[in-house]
């Protein structure tokens, strides 16, 4: 932390588990204050959170920033993608938000894909083939299971939209987060009337899509709950992955592997993605380009759970052995197996606990690296280091697994809160007129050690692929 005399901005990261706030010096990128507060996520049949709790966490995180937050000239919110927030006529949540990792909507996603022309048609029109995570599937689930909640809904928002709306009093979103709904078509960059009609959703309930570099509004805080001065600018905000891309100052062709609650691999592209296999979601980014992305549901939490079951520290891996672990503890998104459970095969008398734990790491990384070629454009430079971010990025076992299975150099940025930094860069761009990614590059946010490439372990990648192919029928009915 350091003091600053120049303009300050606030970047918010409202993730699945918590809300974080950073106050950042526009000139230098120095973080002058920070705060954090946790959320509660249900552990029942689905994954839900109360949006009011996000707002309470935001207020707590900002209060921890002290006077620095009061001096800020602009603010922006990066938030978890896909979640469904339903509000009544007074702007209050009708029910807890359905989160991205709630897979109850898998049947509705499959039906929508079939009803609107199949995977190829969806990819060409929307950029993505929707799975259970996508908001459109969650709305379809809600209409079938809770019609009273649907009738009470006067506005539909994404998580970052909800918090931005609490700041401004207006209903806005951005193209990056809108592209993960399943009702915003990347081919037209607009809401799609056919899909909305299919799921019975009035476009008037949806937020206005704010363009890159536009102001979403100003802080309206009649109750005096926030530290911001009246008239503080509010940027459009965006989804968490698009915000992290801004926070890294990504240029096209640089791959990112994020190790968090979910695992993601993505890169900025000038070309609009359209993967009919559904492996890669063709998201828009927050700047006007595209952000092809593959996501797994099971990443650090799944591996930590397996370490706990084995009674081992998460770093206590051992090389060797023939075991294969597919750590699908919450179903899976890549591959699309929402009802799957974890699978362990290849045990021998001499298999050790450390080898089982390493197999869990290998299984978690396998799907992401398998999607990397689909994410990157054909002319991408394979010698560019893979940027490793997220909560697992500093773990030695994660680093070594990614290096061994990818055969690529790996760079680990020193900056930890890249979603919040990306939101801060977006807010700073409102003040300076700069491209937010250029702001982040000026702040040197991607700075960090580069680990040399290791010899690629193609045999392990092929073994996991073979196990997955052979087990597919079992996993699909798990």
Quote the CA–CA distance of 405 and 365 in Å, as a whole number: 8
- Where does 57-135 show beta strands of DSSP type E? 72-79, 85-87, 97-98
Q: Whole-angstrom Cα distance, residue 71 to residue 281?
A: 38
DSSP string for residues in 354-376: HHHHHHHHHHHHHHHHHHHHHHS
Backbone angles phi, psi at 293, to 5 degrees: -150, 140
Helix (H, G, I), strand (E, B) or coil at 67: helix
Tokens 């828009």 appear where?
A: 284
Single out the residue of 451, 387, 443 nearest to residue 29, CA to CA. Answer: 443
Q: 179 pairs with which residues across the strands? A: none
48: Cβ contacts below 8 Å, ≥ 6 apart: 41, 42, 95, 96, 97, 98, 99, 102
345: which residues sit within 8 A by CB, 6+ positions away? 323, 324, 467, 471
Nearest alpha-carbon partner for 367 in 330, 399, 328, 397: 328
CA-CA distance, 298 to 280, in Å (whole number)? 16
Cα–Cα distance, 282 to 377 (Å, whole number): 13
| DSSP-assigned letters across all residues of 295-328 | EES-SHHHHHHHHHHHT--TT------S-EEE--
Assigned token pair, 402: 């990614």
Catalytic residue, chosen from 13, 102, 177, 240, is: 240
Task: Name residue, tokens 């029928």.
Answer: 473
CA dist., res. 8 & res. 62, Å (int):
14
Residue 240 appears among annotated catalytic residues:
yes
Q: Where are the alpha helices (DSSP H) in 332-434?
A: 353-375, 396-406, 418-432
Residues annotated catalytic, as ranges: 240
């Amino acid at each position: 932390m350091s003091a600053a005399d120049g303009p300050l901005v606030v970047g918010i990261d409202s993730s699945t588990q918590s809300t974080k706030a950073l106050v950042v010096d526009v000139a230098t990128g120095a973080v002058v204050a920070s705060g954090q507060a946790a959320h509660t996520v249900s552990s029942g049949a689905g994954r839900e959170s109360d949006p009011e709790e996000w707002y309470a966490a935001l207020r707590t995180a900002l209060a921890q920033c002290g006077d620095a937050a009061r001096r800020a000239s602009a603010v922006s919110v990066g938030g978890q993608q896909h979640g469904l927030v339903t509000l009544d006529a007074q702007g209050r949540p009708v029910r807890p938000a359905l989160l991205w990792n709630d897979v109850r909507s898998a049947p509705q996603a499959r039906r929508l894909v079939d009803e609107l022309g199949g995977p190829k048609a969806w990819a060409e029109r929307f950029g993505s083939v929707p799975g259970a995570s996508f908001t459109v599937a969650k709305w379809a689930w809600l209409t079938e299971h809770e019609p009273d909640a649907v009738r009470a809904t006067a506005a539909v928002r994404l998580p970052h939209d909800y918090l931005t709306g609490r700041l401004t009093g207006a209903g806005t979103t951005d193209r990056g987060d809108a592209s993960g709904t399943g009702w915003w078509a990347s081919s037209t960059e607009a809401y799609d009337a056919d899909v909305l009609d299919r799921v019975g959703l009035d476009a008037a309930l949806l937020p206005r899509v704010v363009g890159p570099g536009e102001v979403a509004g100003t802080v309206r805080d009649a109750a005096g709950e926030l530290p911001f001065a009246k008239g503080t600018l509010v940027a459009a905000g965006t989804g968490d992955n698009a915000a992290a891309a801004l926070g890294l100052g990504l240029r096209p062709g640089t791959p990112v592997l994020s190790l968090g609650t979910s695992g993601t691999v993505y890169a900025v592209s000038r070309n609009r993605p359209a993967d009919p296999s559904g492996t890669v979601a063709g998201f828009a980014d927050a700047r006007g380009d595209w952000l092809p992305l593959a996501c797994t549901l099971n990443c650090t939490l799944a591996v930590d759970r397996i370490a706990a079951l084995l009674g081992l520290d998460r770093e206590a891996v051992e090389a060797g052995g023939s075991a294969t672990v597919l750590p699908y503890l919450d179903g899976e998104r890549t591959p699309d197996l929402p009802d799957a459970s974890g699978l362990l095969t290849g045990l021998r008398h001499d298999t050790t606990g450390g080898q089982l734990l390493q197999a869990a790491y290998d299984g978690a990384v396998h799907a992401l690296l398998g999607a990397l070629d689909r994410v990157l454009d054909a002319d991408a430079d394979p010698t560019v280091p893979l940027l490793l971010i997220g909560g697992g990025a500093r773990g030695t076992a994660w680093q070594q697994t990614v290096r061994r299975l990818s055969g690529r150099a790996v760079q680990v940025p020193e900056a930890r809160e890249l979603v919040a930094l990306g939101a801060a860069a977006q807010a700073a761009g409102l003040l300076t007129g700069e491209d937010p990614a250029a702001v982040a590059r000026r702040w040197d946010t991607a700075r960090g050690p580069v680990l040399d490439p290791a010899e690629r372990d193609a045999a392990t990648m092929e073994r996991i692929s073979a196990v997955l192919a052979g087990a597919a029928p079992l996993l699909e009915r798990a």
